[in-house]
Every structure is written in structure tokens, then in C-alpha cells.
Structure 1
Amino acid sequence: MPKLLLVDDESIICHSFRRVFSTPEVEVITAGTVAEGWRRVERDRPDVIVLDLQLPDGSGLELFERVRAADPKRPVVFLTAHGTMETTIEAMKRGAFDYLTKPLDLEHMSGLLGRAFEAARLMHEPAALPDDPVGDRIIGHSQVMREMGKLIGRIAPQDANVLIVGESGTGKELVARALYSHSRRSDRPFLAINCAAIPEALVESELFGHEQGAFTGADRRRVGKFEQCGDGTLLLDEIGDMPLAAQAKMLRLLQDQTFERIGGNQPVATRVRVLAATNQNLEQLIADGRFRNDLYYRLKVVTIRVPALRDRRADVPELAHHFLFRYAREAVRDIRGFSPEALERLQRFDWPGNVRELQNTVRAAAYQSTGGVILPDDLPAFSSPGTAPATPAALPPTTFDLVGTIEAMLRDGGKNVYGRVVGRVERELLTRALRLTHGHQAQASDLLGISRATLRYKLREMGIVLDRVVAEHDDPTDA
């Protein structure tokens, strides 16, 4: 179970953290002094630490330095009161994950802690190559995957920038984590930034930071991800969605190993290794004037192409069993495998959503199956190869009973009912909004009140294929 350590001498903050953030999935531990905080670090091994700068027996910076010396990859979030901002900025330069000012906005803290736990997972759960049994493996023994594994092994120990390309859902982030895990920087931070999920106006600030007063709302200096990452590794996912202004700053950073915060005129040095990933055709974006040609060649010192699942069908059985055993445990079901007919259906299908779509399909089958083996009837109605299945993971049914769904999930004995219900409702909402707008993403994002980048990110994460949604909407049988 992930652990959160809060070191703060204010009892009301400790109480609020325990009340808000203690869940069946997260254990909250508190301490009130530097000495007690260090004892908790040594005894409980927390995944994320939230640390007040001013404590009764010393500065939080003292504890921070001891934590960094013991484990430089553990995310530490600082709390600061008015008048201590310069100290906090210094801590950020030394590698703190982020900082917040008091009084706390617990909703903002919740989102920040989610990112911190994800960063801790990415840094401490290594991604292993196909034949390595340790860590979160890249699964597959087909020839194309073996060749990709060899390339990762050759490139990982070097400091060269790497461009990872492949369709959505193929596992580009796992490749980036493997490069990091097998590199000489594996004992230093690893941060992943999704350029498509950040509003365009905030991309530069998120990456490079800003000075106080640099723009409306910049009431304090902010240290960006490049500065936070130090001499670690930074993954820029969906690099094709990076605005042109940020691309220009990226080019200078890669050329000179320096950058300036927004509104600043002092160069900041960096030794970050940059990995970039995209599912877009960057050459076409260059032709359209949406991506810089010079940045493209700076990023692609080495290019790793992650194959689509339809190009490595021999790996489908191994992947399917890997996901099945994971979700059978999650659902507390005794499922031992697939029938030969069910496995043949999975292997013949083209999987336009790639590994992520296969994962979602197997998960749905694990929850819906009533026996010890996944049968063809437990799977969606596959037709000919290349025809999309109408699965809950790809396209929800026309009628949706929210109360019935909640009752069924509460009764089935599985875990994380809250996350599963929210995910199911979110999938239903996004799909119906896209049907209503005939697949027009800008109209759908306006209707939902979210940015287009956020909509695209959620569609990718859920494995929702847009052309399927539109086709279902145009189906005359759809009431």
C-alpha cells in the first residue's frame, strides 16, 4: 500500500490530511518534528513526503537533505508560509517535487499528490526488457519485439536523446521507463510530462518555470520540470502537441543545455536527458508548419519505433494471459485462462487501439466471466479482422443504468469500486458527447467544459476510438 508521510507541527493540518487522504489504497503517516520525521522515514519507507519548512526542532531543509541522500528519487512536496519563498525555491532547485503555500487548498493538494505517487511509481518500479523477469516487463517474444529490446539495451546506457514513435496504446511510456531503468541515471529522478494534457498557455511555465509577475496570475516564482529534474531523465509525451513557442525554447535547451524562466533573463543550466514520445507523424507536422524541423532532428538522435499489436500477433496470447491474471486477482476471481476458441479470436483481431485496447477488453472479460475459463461468449462480438468489437472498453451500450452498475460492482467482490464507477461514468459521458457532436472534438470539449487537450488525453487513456463512436452514432438502429 502506498504511504504518505506528512511532517508538520500543526495538528489541524495533520488531522485534515488523515481525514481527506487516508483511503483503503493510501496510508497517511504524520510527524511533528525533524527528528520524528526522520524516524518515520527510516521505519515506514513512505513513497511521498509532504514537508513543512519550519519545524520546532529545525528546518525542513535539514530533513529534506537526509531524505535526498538516502533516496534521491522519493518525491518531496514542501509546505511554506509567507516569507519563506526563497528558501522553497532553493529546495526546488535541489530536487523537491513541488511546493504549496499555506493555507492549503486540499483539492489542489489532492491532484499534486496523485502526480507525486505516479512519479514515485515510475521511478521505483523499473520497466524490464522482454527476457528480464524483474520489474514491469515489456511483454513479447516476437522478432520485432526482440529487435526493439536489443536497441533499448544498446541505447539505454548512453545519454543520447531518444524519440519514441508508435500508435496510441502501443506502450511508448513503458519503453521510456525501460530506457531510464537501464541507464546510468536510474538512481536520479524520472519525470513524465504529457504535453497534450497541459493547457497551451501553461506548457512553457510547466516545463521552464516563471518569474514572479511574468504574466497575470504569476504571484510567485515557479521552478519548472527541467529545473526540478536536475540531472535525471524527462519524458515529453505527445511531443507533437507542444506549442511552437515552447518548441523554440526546447531547441535552445537541447543546443546549449540552458534555458530561461518565463519573464527572466538569467540562464539556468540543466543536464537533463530528454526522451520524447509521439503517436503523430512529425514529418507531416513539419510540412504543415506545426513542428520545428531543427527541433525534430535534435530529438531524434535515436528513434525507437514501437510496433502496433497487429504487427506482432504472436505476442497476443502472452499479453492476454498477463492482463487476465492481473485483473482476475483484482476482481478476486479464480480464472485460469482462455479457451482455445477465445484465444484464437483475440489473436485474429486487428486491435486498432493496440495493447491498451486488448488490456481493457481482457479486464472487462475478467469481470464479466462466470466460470474459471474465458469463453468466446465472455468476449465482445468479434467479426472479421479489422472490424472493431462493440466492447465496454471501446463503445458503451446505448442504455446505461448507473444505479444498477454501482450495485453490481459493489456486489461482485472486486476492489476499487469508486475508481471503476467513476471511470465507467466518465467513459459514458465522453462517448455520448462525441456522438451528439458527430465526433467534433472542439464542440464536444466546449459542451463538457474541458479543454480539447484534456479530451484527447482521456480518449487515449480509455482506448476510445473516435471513428467507432461516430459509426455507432450514424447507425440507424441507434435509438
Structure 2
Amino acid sequence: MPKILVIDDEPGIIFSIEHVFAGKGIEVLGAEDGETGLRLVADESPDVILLDIRLGNRSGLDVFQDIRRLDPKSLVVFITGHGTADTAIEAIKLGAYDYLVKPLDDEQLDQVVSQACAISRMMHVPAIVEEADCPEDRPQRLIGGAAAMQAVFKQIGRVAPQDVNVLILGESGTGKELVARAIYHHSRRNQAPFVAINCAAIPESLLESELFGHERGAFTGAEHRRIGKFEQSHGGTLLLDEIGDMAPGTQAKILRLLQEGSFERLGGSQAIAADVRVIAATNQDLDGLIEQGRFRMDLYYRLRGVTIRLPPLREHREDIAELAHYFLFRYNRQLGTAVQSISPEALDLLERHNWPGNVRELQSVIRESLIASAGPTVIAEFLPAELHRGEGGEPESETEVRPMPDMDWRSLPEFVESAVAEGQKDVYRRALEQFDRLIVAAAMRQAGGQQNRAAEILGISRVTLRAKLRHMHLAVEKVLLPRQTEEPRN
């Protein structure tokens, strides 16, 4: 049951809010001063907090700052008199969710609180039920306490209950499909199917069949009737990912379906009803594609019932630490590693990187760093070399980062001495990587190339060993042949 906390020094306000939500499945807690309210925030973890801007001898803004220190993700709605709206707007700039003006309008109060509760659920309830590469008990979540992401959550909360088409815009790796799934998860269609199709990943000649299906004999090789994505998602939601890559002919058929609410399978003549909510996503500039004649303007307006723009990761850097620790937990389970933390120096590098690949790139970096780590903490030396460069992609000093050559045990000390003497960068991480490489190669040789046996020798899981082999680009023949063909030394 959602739980809201009202902090107001007027008992009548608390009573009236309790009355509005009576019988609606929302628990209302009340506090007549800031100190009591803060105790309830700590003890009860309310989903939404309604906070009076003026609380006797204490400013609501001060209480708000204390609330954010207790729970940075808390959703706070300010209650203000007519003369203090400017103060409430200032609070919004500081991170409050919304504000309401006295005397409270019951309908507006209900709407704002319901939307805020929906957003609170999104921040704590998985948006994806399962992913192929995700541990079973750790589904992917929407994460983001930054103002830019809070604005996205607010949009999702508003649009999810409305049965309108949605257009999601954002760079590659920003999480467009995750947002689409969140909209679905919190919509009235969430008991019906969610179907996603990447329009850029399917050849143009096959895309129409994938979307609309086909009858037997519709074309060469069509030996059976095929049910398309629109039919599969009947009553539910269909995500058209990378819509900007769709061919004009297919765009025309999508437009007709949206206009008429029906379609025909390829090779068929029977109209099939299409009760589907369409969510489209793209990383392209659709306005530019329209000007070039590559995207239909009428389809664009049909798709953008509501437009959600996802910020690139560089525009909400304050979320990087939370995202990094989330991926740390996920990949610990998946890789069989036991890394517990990320050092301050490593976090600093993560937060300064420009992230052209956005959250997907961060996810990959954390996975790679876990594979490279040799202890309980991800340190800066284990992060990829590109993170040790500036935003322009150039090394931070004139010393070139040299690739690590293959070597044997006896040459490793020579490499370290030489690299330190020459003032090379990143010697510690690169030496540890080479040492790790030598150990793995030795275990693989001792095991005769059998990964199960090599993992047992090393005391790690087979999954971790396979990940290390991929990371090091080591093949069985590469670790076996050198020793088998090496001439004996005198």
C-alpha cells in the first residue's frame, strides 16, 4: 500500500488530506512539526511527502534539505499559500517533485499524489522482469536521482496510465527500451504482452513480414502462416526500436495501421484489428530525416502522442556512482567474482569520463573492471585505458600508453624496471594484467586446455575463467603451442 506523509502545522490540512485519500488504498501519516516529520521519514520511508513551506518557527526549505539528507530519492510536494509560490518554485529547482497552492483542490491533490506514488514505485520496482544476461534475483531497474532523470520519471508517471503513443528520443545506450518497458509496466496494459522489435536489425525485405505477419504462399519460402509483432502484441504494447531506420514503404503501412486500427498480413485480404499501444524509439534526428525526405511527417505526428527525451549520461553524472555499484552487484553474481567496492580514485575517473556510449558503455566498463580486478576493490588501475584520458580522447600526458607485449615469467621484472625507469603511464595496472595473463596461461597449459580443470587450479569459477580468456583474447592453441614448440634452454 502506498504511504504518504503530510508535514503541516495546521491539523485541519492533515485531516482534509486524510479525508481525500480515505478508501483509496493510500495510507496517510501526519506530523505537525518538522522534527516529528523527519522521524517519520526515517522510520516509515513514505513514498511521497507533502510538506508545508512554512512550519511555525522553521522553514519548510530547511526541513526539505534534512529530508534529502535522510533519503536523496524522496519525492516531496510542497504546500504553499498564494503569496509564497516563488519560494515553492525555488524548491522545485532544488529537487522537489511539485507544489500545491492553498486552498487545496481535491482533484489536483489526488492527481499529483497518484503520479508521485507511481514514480516512487518505478524507483523501487523492476521495470524489466527478466533479462538474458541478468541474475535471476536482480532484474534491471530504472536508476537516477539526478534532476534530469527525475524529470524523465515524472514524464513516465504521467504518460503510463494514458493510452497514447509515445516517442522516446535519446543517444545509443541511454536506456530507451528500459523506459519503454517502464511505461508498459505501469500502464493499464501490463497484463497483456510487451513485444519489442529492432527495426535496424532486420533486413528491409523481412521487416514487413516480422511486423504484420504473412499468409502461406505470400512469397517464396512462405510455407506456413506467420503471426507478426502487431498481432502478437494485441491488447498490449509494441516497441518499435530504431524507428528512424525504417524504409518509407514500411512507414506507410505503419501509418495506415495507426489511422485505421487494422492491418492485413502479407498475402492476405482479411482486415485484422490492431489494439496495440505503440512506443517508438530512435537515436536519430527525425526532424532532419523529415527534411531529407527519409521519414514521413504524418507518421512522426502519429507516433509522438508524447515525446520523452532521455539525457545522455554526461548530463547526469551524479548518477554514475549508483549505476556503477548496481552493475558491480549484477556482474559479481554473473561472473562469480567477489568485488565489494569501487575506490574513490576509480569513481573519480568514472565521473569525469564523457561516456559517448552512455549507460551501456558504463555497464561494459564495470564488467571489464571486475574481470581485471585482483582484489575486493575496483581501483583506478583496473579501469580501461580510455578512462585515463581527457574528454577529447587524448592521453593526459605526452607519455604514450604502450601495448603490453606477450612475455614469460623472467621478462616481467625487466618490463617493470624498464617501464618505471622510462616514466611510462599506468605501469601498475598493466603489470598486474600481464601477471594475471601469465597465471591464466600457465593454468591452461597445466590443464591441457581443459577449462574446468584450469578453473579448479586457479580457484575460480569456470564462468570467471572464460570471461578472463575472452578479455585477454587467449585461445587454447595460443596458450598451449608456445610451450610445446619452445626449444629447451641450456
Tell me the TM-score range normalised by the shorter chain.
0.5 to 0.7
1:132 matched to 2:129: no
State which drifts further: 415-424 or 378-387.
Answer: 415-424
User: Does the CA contact (< 8 Å) of 2:234 and 2:274 recur in 1?
Assistant: yes
Structure 1 partner of 2:293: 289
1:383 matched to 2:389: yes
User: Does the CA contact (< 8 Å) of 2:209 and 2:266 recur in 1?
Assistant: yes
Residues 386-433 of structure 1 show CA distances to partners (whole Å, capped at 9, x for unaligned) of 4289xxxxxxx79899x959949863634647985897699x9xxxxx
Structure 2 partner of 1:455: none
Change in Cα spacing, 1:177 to 1:134, as seen in structure 2 (3 Å) is closer
User: Does the CA contact (< 8 Å) of 1:330 and 1:414 recur in 2?
Assistant: no
1:309 aligned to 303, 308, 313, which one? 313
User: Does the CA contact (< 8 Å) of 2:237 and 2:277 recur in 1?
Assistant: yes
Q: Distance in 1 between matches of 2:338 and 2:276?
A: 46
1:340 aligned to 337, 344, 357, which one? 344
User: Which structure has the larger Rg over C-alpha atoms?
Assistant: 2
Q: Distance in 2 between matches of 1:420 and 1:129?
A: 35
Give the match's secondary structure for 2:153: helix
Shift of 1:225: 1.1
- Equivalent positions of 1:109-258 (< 5 A) are 131-134=123-126, 136-258=140-262
Gaps of 5+ in 1: 1-126, 390-396, 429-479
With normalisation by structure 1, the TM-score equals 0.57
Residues 51-105 of structure 1 show CA distances to partners (whole Å, capped at 9, x for unaligned) of xxxxxxxxxxxxxxxxxxxxxxxxxxxxxxxxxxxxxxxxxxxxxxxxxxxxxxx
Q: Distance in 2 between matches of 1:251 and 1:423?
A: 45
User: Does the CA contact (< 8 Å) of 1:128 and 1:137 recur in 2?
Assistant: no
Change in Cα spacing, 1:133 to 1:346, as seen in structure 2 (3 Å) is same
Q: Distance in 2 between matches of 1:148 and 1:348?
A: 23
Structure 1 partner of 2:277: 273
- 1:229 counterpart letter in structure 2: S
User: Does the CA contact (< 8 Å) of 2:212 and 2:229 recur in 1?
Assistant: yes
Shift of 1:190: 0.6
Residues 25-54 of structure 1 show CA distances to partners (whole Å, capped at 9, x for unaligned) of xxxxxxxxxxxxxxxxxxxxxxxxxxxxxx
Shift of 1:384: 1.1
Q: Distance in 1 between matches of 2:442 and 2:326?
A: 26
Give the match's secondary structure for 1:277: strand
- 2:363 counterpart letter in structure 1: Q
With normalisation by structure 2, the TM-score equals 0.55
Shift of 1:373: 1.1
Change in Cα spacing, 1:178 to 1:254, as seen in structure 2 (3 Å) is same
Change in Cα spacing, 1:269 to 1:217, as seen in structure 2 (3 Å) is same
Give the match's secondary structure for 2:200: helix
Change in Cα spacing, 1:405 to 1:159, as seen in structure 2 (3 Å) is farther
Residues 408-464 of structure 1 show CA distances to partners (whole Å, capped at 9, x for unaligned) of 9863634647985897699x9xxxxxxxxxxxxxxxxxxxxxxxxxxxxxxxxxxxx
Change in Cα spacing, 1:282 to 1:357, as seen in structure 2 (3 Å) is same
Structure 2 partner of 1:108: none
Change in Cα spacing, 1:421 to 1:331, as seen in structure 2 (3 Å) is closer
Q: Distance in 2 between matches of 1:200 and 1:129?
A: 39
Count of residues in Structure 1 that have an aligned counterpart in Structure 2: 297
Shift of 1:332: 2.5
Q: Distance in 2 between matches of 1:128 and 1:212?
A: 48
Change in Cα spacing, 1:226 to 1:347, as seen in structure 2 (3 Å) is same
Shift of 1:176: 0.5
